[in-house]
A = this chain, B = another copy of it.
Amino acid sequence: MRNVRAEIAYDGALFHGWQRQEGFASVQGAIEDALVSLLGQVSTVHGSGRTDTGVHALRQVANFHVETRLEDDRLRHALNAHVTKGIVIRELETCRDDFHARFDAVGKRYLFLTLTSRFRPPIGRKYAHWTSAALDLQKMRSAARRLIGTHDFRAFGNSGSERKTTVRKVSALRLIAHRDRFAFVIEGTGFLYNMVRTIAGTLIYVGRGKLEPSAIDRALATGDRTAAGPTAPACGLYLLRVLYDEPVFADGEPGPRGRPGVMRFGAG
Protein backbone atom coordinates (compact mmCIF):
# COMPACT_ATOMS: atom_id res chain seq x y z
CA MET A 1 0.00 0.00 0.00
CA ARG A 2 1.31 3.42 -0.81
CA ASN A 3 -0.01 6.77 0.27
CA VAL A 4 -0.72 9.23 -2.53
CA ARG A 5 -1.43 12.91 -2.39
CA ALA A 6 -3.74 14.36 -5.02
CA GLU A 7 -4.64 17.87 -6.06
CA ILE A 8 -8.17 18.01 -7.33
CA ALA A 9 -10.22 20.61 -9.18
CA TYR A 10 -13.98 20.33 -9.30
CA ASP A 11 -17.11 22.11 -10.37
CA GLY A 12 -19.13 22.54 -7.19
CA ALA A 13 -22.32 23.13 -9.16
CA LEU A 14 -22.39 19.44 -10.05
CA PHE A 15 -22.00 17.97 -6.56
CA HIS A 16 -23.63 17.98 -3.18
CA GLY A 17 -20.37 19.05 -1.65
CA TRP A 18 -17.17 17.18 -0.96
CA GLN A 19 -18.34 14.66 1.60
CA ARG A 20 -19.74 11.28 0.64
CA GLN A 21 -23.48 11.06 1.30
CA GLU A 22 -25.71 8.16 0.41
CA GLY A 23 -27.91 9.04 -2.56
CA PHE A 24 -26.14 12.28 -3.48
CA ALA A 25 -23.31 12.94 -5.91
CA SER A 26 -20.27 14.05 -3.93
CA VAL A 27 -16.67 14.68 -4.94
CA GLN A 28 -15.26 12.30 -2.34
CA GLY A 29 -17.77 9.64 -3.36
CA ALA A 30 -16.96 10.07 -7.06
CA ILE A 31 -13.21 9.62 -6.49
CA GLU A 32 -13.74 6.65 -4.17
CA ASP A 33 -16.05 5.08 -6.76
CA ALA A 34 -13.45 5.67 -9.48
CA LEU A 35 -10.83 3.88 -7.32
CA VAL A 36 -13.17 0.92 -6.91
CA SER A 37 -13.88 0.67 -10.62
CA LEU A 38 -10.23 1.19 -11.59
CA LEU A 39 -8.41 -0.89 -8.96
CA GLY A 40 -11.15 -2.92 -7.32
CA GLN A 41 -10.08 -1.37 -4.04
CA VAL A 42 -12.16 0.37 -1.42
CA SER A 43 -10.11 3.35 -0.21
CA THR A 44 -11.12 6.31 1.87
CA VAL A 45 -10.21 9.56 0.19
CA HIS A 46 -9.22 12.00 2.94
CA GLY A 47 -9.83 15.57 1.88
CA SER A 48 -8.20 18.59 3.50
CA GLY A 49 -11.71 19.58 4.54
CA ARG A 50 -15.26 19.54 3.31
CA THR A 51 -16.63 22.00 0.84
CA ASP A 52 -20.36 22.72 0.76
CA THR A 53 -22.75 22.13 -2.11
CA GLY A 54 -21.98 24.62 -4.86
CA VAL A 55 -18.47 25.52 -3.67
CA HIS A 56 -15.80 25.06 -6.35
CA ALA A 57 -12.20 23.98 -5.91
CA LEU A 58 -9.16 24.62 -8.05
CA ARG A 59 -6.72 22.69 -5.85
CA GLN A 60 -8.41 20.71 -3.13
CA VAL A 61 -5.90 18.30 -1.59
CA ALA A 62 -6.64 14.71 -0.59
CA ASN A 63 -4.68 11.59 0.25
CA PHE A 64 -5.53 7.91 0.02
CA HIS A 65 -3.80 4.55 0.14
CA VAL A 66 -3.68 2.29 -2.90
CA GLU A 67 -2.06 -0.97 -3.87
CA THR A 68 -1.11 -0.81 -7.52
CA ARG A 69 1.86 -1.11 -9.87
CA LEU A 70 0.67 1.92 -11.82
CA GLU A 71 3.13 4.76 -11.59
CA ASP A 72 1.85 8.07 -10.25
CA ASP A 73 1.28 9.66 -13.62
CA ARG A 74 -0.46 6.61 -15.09
CA LEU A 75 -2.61 6.29 -12.00
CA ARG A 76 -3.62 9.94 -12.39
CA HIS A 77 -4.51 9.45 -16.05
CA ALA A 78 -6.48 6.29 -15.31
CA LEU A 79 -8.34 7.93 -12.44
CA ASN A 80 -9.24 10.89 -14.60
CA ALA A 81 -10.62 8.49 -17.19
CA HIS A 82 -12.80 6.82 -14.56
CA VAL A 83 -13.96 9.77 -12.49
CA THR A 84 -17.19 11.69 -13.09
CA LYS A 85 -17.11 14.73 -15.36
CA GLY A 86 -16.61 17.91 -13.41
CA ILE A 87 -13.67 16.50 -11.43
CA VAL A 88 -10.05 16.55 -12.56
CA ILE A 89 -7.10 15.08 -10.66
CA ARG A 90 -4.48 17.68 -11.50
CA GLU A 91 -1.55 16.20 -9.62
CA LEU A 92 -0.99 12.84 -8.02
CA GLU A 93 2.23 11.90 -6.28
CA THR A 94 3.34 9.24 -3.84
CA CYS A 95 3.94 10.95 -0.52
CA ARG A 96 5.32 10.00 2.86
CA ASP A 97 3.22 7.34 4.46
CA ASP A 98 2.00 9.45 7.36
CA PHE A 99 0.90 12.44 5.29
CA HIS A 100 -2.73 13.32 6.01
CA ALA A 101 -4.43 15.94 3.86
CA ARG A 102 -6.56 17.23 6.71
CA PHE A 103 -4.42 16.92 9.81
CA ASP A 104 -1.27 18.22 8.11
CA ALA A 105 -2.91 21.25 6.51
CA VAL A 106 -1.68 24.50 8.03
CA GLY A 107 -3.89 26.88 6.11
CA LYS A 108 -6.19 27.49 3.19
CA ARG A 109 -6.65 30.08 0.52
CA TYR A 110 -10.07 30.89 -0.92
CA LEU A 111 -11.36 33.23 -3.57
CA PHE A 112 -14.80 34.80 -3.51
CA LEU A 113 -16.13 36.26 -6.76
CA THR A 114 -18.93 38.80 -7.10
CA LEU A 115 -20.30 40.36 -10.27
CA THR A 116 -21.79 43.83 -10.10
CA SER A 117 -23.46 44.08 -13.48
CA ARG A 118 -26.80 45.81 -14.02
CA PHE A 119 -28.45 42.49 -14.90
CA ARG A 120 -27.97 39.17 -13.24
CA PRO A 121 -25.82 37.44 -15.86
CA PRO A 122 -27.83 34.49 -17.17
CA ILE A 123 -24.70 32.67 -18.29
CA GLY A 124 -22.66 30.95 -15.64
CA ARG A 125 -24.97 31.77 -12.73
CA LYS A 126 -23.46 28.96 -10.68
CA TYR A 127 -19.94 30.34 -10.89
CA ALA A 128 -20.21 33.75 -9.25
CA HIS A 129 -22.25 35.73 -6.77
CA TRP A 130 -24.08 38.70 -8.24
CA THR A 131 -25.30 42.04 -6.98
CA SER A 132 -26.61 44.92 -9.06
CA ALA A 133 -25.37 47.42 -6.47
CA ALA A 134 -22.29 49.55 -6.99
CA LEU A 135 -19.58 48.76 -4.44
CA ASP A 136 -17.43 51.30 -2.62
CA LEU A 137 -14.01 49.70 -2.82
CA GLN A 138 -12.42 52.21 -0.45
CA LYS A 139 -14.78 51.27 2.35
CA MET A 140 -14.37 47.59 1.60
CA ARG A 141 -10.60 47.87 1.85
CA SER A 142 -10.98 49.63 5.18
CA ALA A 143 -13.22 46.80 6.39
CA ALA A 144 -10.88 44.13 5.05
CA ARG A 145 -7.87 45.56 6.89
CA ARG A 146 -9.73 45.16 10.18
CA LEU A 147 -10.24 41.44 9.57
CA ILE A 148 -6.57 40.64 9.05
CA GLY A 149 -4.84 39.13 12.07
CA THR A 150 -5.74 36.75 14.88
CA HIS A 151 -9.27 37.33 16.14
CA ASP A 152 -12.22 35.55 17.63
CA PHE A 153 -14.33 35.19 14.46
CA ARG A 154 -17.41 33.93 16.30
CA ALA A 155 -19.57 36.64 14.67
CA PHE A 156 -18.56 35.34 11.23
CA GLY A 157 -19.22 31.66 11.57
CA ASN A 158 -19.60 28.58 13.57
CA SER A 159 -16.95 26.25 14.92
CA GLY A 160 -19.30 23.30 14.56
CA SER A 161 -19.04 22.57 18.27
CA GLU A 162 -19.49 24.56 21.47
CA ARG A 163 -16.22 23.38 22.93
CA LYS A 164 -13.95 24.34 20.07
CA THR A 165 -12.27 27.69 19.81
CA THR A 166 -13.54 30.29 17.36
CA VAL A 167 -10.19 32.07 17.23
CA ARG A 168 -8.63 32.02 13.78
CA LYS A 169 -5.85 33.85 12.02
CA VAL A 170 -6.50 35.61 8.73
CA SER A 171 -3.00 36.06 7.35
CA ALA A 172 -3.96 37.78 4.09
CA LEU A 173 -7.04 39.36 2.60
CA ARG A 174 -6.61 40.96 -0.79
CA LEU A 175 -9.33 42.79 -2.71
CA ILE A 176 -9.37 42.87 -6.49
CA ALA A 177 -11.72 44.96 -8.58
CA HIS A 178 -11.83 44.91 -12.36
CA ARG A 179 -14.66 46.47 -14.35
CA ASP A 180 -17.86 44.84 -13.12
CA ARG A 181 -16.11 42.14 -11.14
CA PHE A 182 -15.08 42.15 -7.55
CA ALA A 183 -13.14 39.38 -5.90
CA PHE A 184 -11.18 38.82 -2.77
CA VAL A 185 -8.57 36.25 -1.89
CA ILE A 186 -8.36 35.25 1.74
CA GLU A 187 -5.75 33.10 3.40
CA GLY A 188 -5.77 31.81 6.94
CA THR A 189 -5.12 29.00 9.37
CA GLY A 190 -8.41 27.27 8.78
CA PHE A 191 -11.81 28.91 8.80
CA LEU A 192 -14.99 28.49 10.78
CA TYR A 193 -17.99 26.98 9.04
CA ASN A 194 -19.38 29.64 6.64
CA MET A 195 -16.70 32.13 7.68
CA VAL A 196 -15.43 33.00 4.20
CA ARG A 197 -18.97 33.40 2.87
CA THR A 198 -19.96 35.58 5.83
CA ILE A 199 -16.86 37.73 5.34
CA ALA A 200 -17.92 38.02 1.69
CA GLY A 201 -21.46 39.02 2.62
CA THR A 202 -20.17 41.51 5.17
CA LEU A 203 -17.66 43.13 2.81
CA ILE A 204 -20.37 43.46 0.18
CA TYR A 205 -22.72 45.02 2.74
CA VAL A 206 -19.98 47.51 3.57
CA GLY A 207 -19.43 48.16 -0.15
CA ARG A 208 -23.14 48.83 -0.60
CA GLY A 209 -23.19 51.24 2.34
CA LYS A 210 -25.40 49.02 4.48
CA LEU A 211 -22.66 48.67 7.10
CA GLU A 212 -19.80 50.98 8.02
CA PRO A 213 -16.26 49.54 8.09
CA SER A 214 -16.26 50.05 11.86
CA ALA A 215 -18.98 47.39 12.11
CA ILE A 216 -16.16 44.88 11.66
CA ASP A 217 -14.51 45.99 14.91
CA ARG A 218 -17.82 45.72 16.75
CA ALA A 219 -18.52 42.25 15.32
CA LEU A 220 -15.05 41.01 16.28
CA ALA A 221 -15.24 42.55 19.76
CA THR A 222 -18.73 41.36 20.65
CA GLY A 223 -18.89 38.10 18.71
CA ASP A 224 -22.42 39.10 17.77
CA ARG A 225 -23.45 37.39 14.53
CA THR A 226 -26.03 40.11 13.84
CA ALA A 227 -23.30 42.76 13.79
CA ALA A 228 -21.84 41.15 10.66
CA GLY A 229 -23.47 40.97 7.23
CA PRO A 230 -25.31 38.06 5.59
CA THR A 231 -23.70 34.84 4.42
CA ALA A 232 -23.04 35.13 0.68
CA PRO A 233 -24.05 32.21 -1.56
CA ALA A 234 -21.79 29.23 -2.20
CA CYS A 235 -21.60 29.76 -5.97
CA GLY A 236 -19.06 32.59 -5.57
CA LEU A 237 -16.65 30.54 -3.47
CA TYR A 238 -13.53 28.79 -4.80
CA LEU A 239 -11.05 26.81 -2.71
CA LEU A 240 -7.80 27.89 -4.35
CA ARG A 241 -5.12 26.17 -2.32
CA VAL A 242 -4.45 24.12 0.78
CA LEU A 243 -1.22 25.03 2.53
CA TYR A 244 1.21 22.56 4.09
CA ASP A 245 4.57 22.76 5.76
CA GLU A 246 7.07 21.37 3.30
CA PRO A 247 8.28 18.87 2.35
CA VAL A 248 5.33 16.57 1.99
CA PHE A 249 6.51 14.32 -0.81
CA ALA A 250 8.41 11.10 -0.33
CA ASP A 251 11.27 12.40 -2.48
CA GLY A 252 11.62 15.58 -0.43
CA GLU A 253 10.11 17.81 -3.10
CA PRO A 254 8.39 20.88 -1.75
CA GLY A 255 4.64 20.95 -1.25
CA PRO A 256 2.10 23.02 -3.09
CA ARG A 257 2.92 26.25 -1.34
CA GLY A 258 5.82 26.92 -3.66
CA ARG A 259 3.94 26.13 -6.84
CA PRO A 260 2.31 28.82 -8.86
CA GLY A 261 -1.32 28.28 -9.73
CA VAL A 262 -1.85 27.80 -13.42
CA MET A 263 -5.46 26.82 -13.81
CA ARG A 264 -7.93 29.56 -14.25
CA PHE A 265 -11.65 29.60 -14.64
CA GLY A 266 -13.17 28.19 -17.81
CA ALA A 267 -14.49 31.13 -19.73
CA GLY A 268 -14.75 34.86 -19.50
User: Contact: B265 with A120, CB < 8 Å?
Assistant: no
Q: How far, in angstroms, from A10 to B56 measured CA to CA in the complex?
A: 22
Chain B residues with CB below 8 A from A125, complex form: 11, 85-86, 266
B-facing mask of A64-97, CB < 8 A → 1, else 0?
Answer: 0000000000000000000001111010000000
- Closest B-chain residue to A180, C-beta based? B264
Q: Is A1 an interface residue (CB 8 A)?
A: no
Chain B residues with CB below 8 A from A117, complex form: 262-264
User: Contact: B180 with A119, CB < 8 Å?
Assistant: no
Secondary structure at the A interface, as helix, strand, loop or mixed, is loop
Number of copies: 2
One of B88, B120, B179 near A121 (C-beta < 8 A): B88
Q: List 17 A-B contacts (CB under 8 A).
A: A9-B123, A11-B123, A85-B125, A86-B125, A87-B122, A115-B267, A117-B263, A118-B262, A121-B265, A123-B127, A124-B127, A127-B267, A127-B268, A128-B267, A179-B264, A265-B267, A266-B268
Q: How far, in angstroms, from A104 to B128 measured CA to CA in the complex?
A: 36
One of B86, B119, B180, B266 near A115 (C-beta < 8 A): B266
- Closest B-chain residue to A183, C-beta based? B267
One of B56, B121, B262 near A123 (C-beta < 8 A): B56
User: Contact: B11 with A88, CB < 8 Å?
Assistant: no
Q: Is A113 an interface residue (CB 8 A)?
A: yes
User: Contact: B263 with A119, CB < 8 Å?
Assistant: yes
* Least Cβ–Cβ distance between A124 and chain B, in angstroms: 3
Chain B residues with CB below 8 A from A115, complex form: 266-267
Q: How far, in angstroms, from A267 to B122 measured CA to CA in the complex?
A: 12
Q: How far, in angstroms, from A75 to B119 measured CA to CA in the complex?
A: 15
* Least Cβ–Cβ distance between A234 and chain B, in angstroms: 13
Closest 4 CB pairs of A and B: A268-B268, A124-B266, A265-B268, A127-B267
User: Contact: A267 with B113, CB < 8 Å?
Assistant: yes
Chain B residues with CB below 8 A from A86, complex form: 122-123, 125
Chain B residues with CB below 8 A from A56, complex form: 123
Q: How far, in angstroms, from A265 to B121 measured CA to CA in the complex?
A: 7
Contacts A10-B122, A266-B267 given; 14 further ones with Cβ under 8 A? A10-B123, A56-B123, A86-B122, A86-B125, A88-B120, A88-B121, A115-B267, A118-B262, A124-B127, A124-B267, A127-B268, A128-B267, A265-B268, A266-B268
Chain B residues with CB below 8 A from A10, complex form: 122-123
User: Contact: B123 with A266, CB < 8 Å?
Assistant: yes
